Amino acid sequence: MPLITAMNTVLVDVPLGQRTITDSQSSVDSVEFVQVSIETDAGVTGHGFNWNYSKGLKAAKVMIDECYAPAIMGRPALDRHALMHAMHSTTHFIGRVGVARVGLCAMNLALWDIQLKLEGQPLWRHLGPCKDRVKAYNTDGGWLTWSTDELVADMQRILDRGFDAVKMKLGRPDPREDYERVKAVRKAIGDKPKLMVDVNTVWDLKTAMVWGRRLEEFDIAWLEEPMHPFDVQAHGDLAQALDLPIAVGETVYTLHAFRDYVDCKGADILQADVTKLSGIEEWLDVAALGRAHGLTVIPHTNVQHNVHAQLAAATPNTPMIECCYESLFDIWENPIRVVDGFYTLPEVPGVGGKLTAAVLTKHRVA
């Protein structure tokens, strides 16, 4: 049984290799990553990560260095459940979600990486695949600050690359503008491609009721994060009032919170993000919860596609995942690609969460 002998963390801030992107909550020109490396006496090192597209990830690095690392040093690296409990016990009074959870997930991915490297398998093969490639939908052309002409052109460009499902951002100060932009995109791309819309939580219930109904005429595949994610009851009220499917999960941080959405019928699609949960086990729990209730799980994905594509490959109720921030694909060792609208799957053992040495050197901030 390999023992944990050392740990290292690095914080980097990586510029986007594309135009600044904007939704109703954020304007992004770089992404922070914390890289976790856990060494063992078997000569195997596990790599995990987490990310943030605003500043502040240094807080997670401090929590990992000062709380989590001491809790697991010298212990068996494969006792993942026990190690997760030990780490959680060091911070549960000050953070069951948020910064504490961000750091915990990075550690979880690194521990999984050790096991998978010892087995000589990528994650998706360890879990047992139900598909050998994973369908992608694309968000990388639907940003809120794009003019309508730019928006339409980008959506068409994406479809020309082989995608058949695209998503655009909503949440302008006047919802009439959102409506007209959706109308223009649907007219331009025709009826066949799937079109999703994402509000990033800024509408209230009345606005979501009114404009959700208006959007139904455009055959929208789902309305994403229409309201504050902690207001579960409002999502239940909205979902019962609309024929338009509701998607939530980008800012839902626990299995129990997803259970609450399911119980009140507040979501049709669960967008569980492994990097917002405590790690792979909790993501799989959410996927199982969804499957038991006949719900699809389509994970929120931007920079964590290496992990989500593998989880999707082993999850029957995950028909596709998001493709976004494509300019950052090459920051990873052994990056996966989208070919003709599908993610390829890795054959390299592990989770796929190691940043390249060049990125870690050039963009290091702590």
Residue 231 shares a structural domain with residue 295: yes
**Is residue 190, in this structure, part of any structural domain at all?**
yes
Is residue 349 in a domain? no
Q: What is the DSSP string of 33-63?
A: EEEEEEEETTS-EEEEEEEESSS-THHHHHH
Residue 133 and residue 116 share a domain: no
Do 271 and 146 lie in one domain? The reply is: yes
Q: What confidence score (pLDDT) does residue 19 get?
A: 86
In a domain, 350, yes or no: no
Pair 208, 114 in one domain: no
pLDDT tens-place string over residues 326-344: 999 999 999 999 999 999 9
Note whether 300 and 339 are same-domain residues: yes
> Phi and psi for 13 in degrees, rounded to 5?
-130, 105
Would you say 293 and 270 are in contact if contact means Cβ atoms under 8 Å apart? Answer: no
pLDDT for the residue 264: 97
Over range 271-282, report the average pLDDT.
98
Q: In the predicted model, what is the mean pLDDT of the chain?
A: 97
Is residue 92 in some structural domain?
yes
Cα–Cα distance between 91 and 104 in angstroms, integer? 10
- At 21, is the pLDDT very low, low, confident or very high (cuts 50, 70, 90)? confident
Residue 347 has pLDDT above 90, yes or no: yes
Question: Do 137 and 244 fall into the same domain?
Answer: yes
Q: How do residues 58-100 score in pLDDT, each as one tens digit?
A: 999 999 999 999 999 999 999 999 999 999 999 988 888 889 9
pLDDT at 242 (0 to 100): 98
User: b/e per residue, 98-130, with b = 16+ CB within 10 A?
Assistant: ebbbbbbbbbbbbbbbbbbbbeebbbbbbbebe
Indicate if the pLDDT at residue 26 is higher than 90.
no
Note whether residue 160 is domain-resident: yes
Residue 259 sits in a domain whose CATH number is 3.20.20.120
255-263 vs 232-241: helix crossing angle, rounded to 10:
40
Residues 164 and 40 in one domain: no
Residue 18 phi, psi dihedral angles, 5° rounding:
-150, 175
Q: Is residue 348 part of a domain?
A: no
Two structure tokens written together for 81:
């459940």
Does the pLDDT value for residue 288 go beyond 90? yes
Q: How confident is the model at residue 98, as a pLDDT?
A: 87
76 and 192 together in one domain: no
Could you tell me if 222 and 283 lie in one domain?
yes
Residue 267 CB contacts under 8 Å (≥ 6 apart), including other chains: 235, 239, 246, 247, 248, 249, 261, 295
The H or E element spanning position 90 is helix 80-91
Distance CA 346, CA 250 (A): 25
Among all chains, which residue has been given the structure tokens 């989208």?
Answer: 338
| Cα→Cα distances 197→42, 243, 298, 302, Å | 48, 15, 14, 16
CATH of the domain at 64: 3.30.390.10
Domain tally, the chain: 2
Same-domain check for residues 76 and 138: no
- For residue 116, being part of any structural domain is answered with yes
In terms of domains, do 338 and 203 share one? Answer: yes
- 62 and 149 assigned to the same domain: no
What pLDDT does 62 receive?
A: 97
Are 136 and 342 in contact by the 8 Å Cβ rule? The answer is: yes
For every residue of 162-176, which 3-state class applies, written as one string? CCCEEEEECCCCCHH
- Domain hosting 26: range is 4-120+355-362
What does DSSP say about strands 21-22 and 27-28: parallel, antiparallel, or unpaired? antiparallel
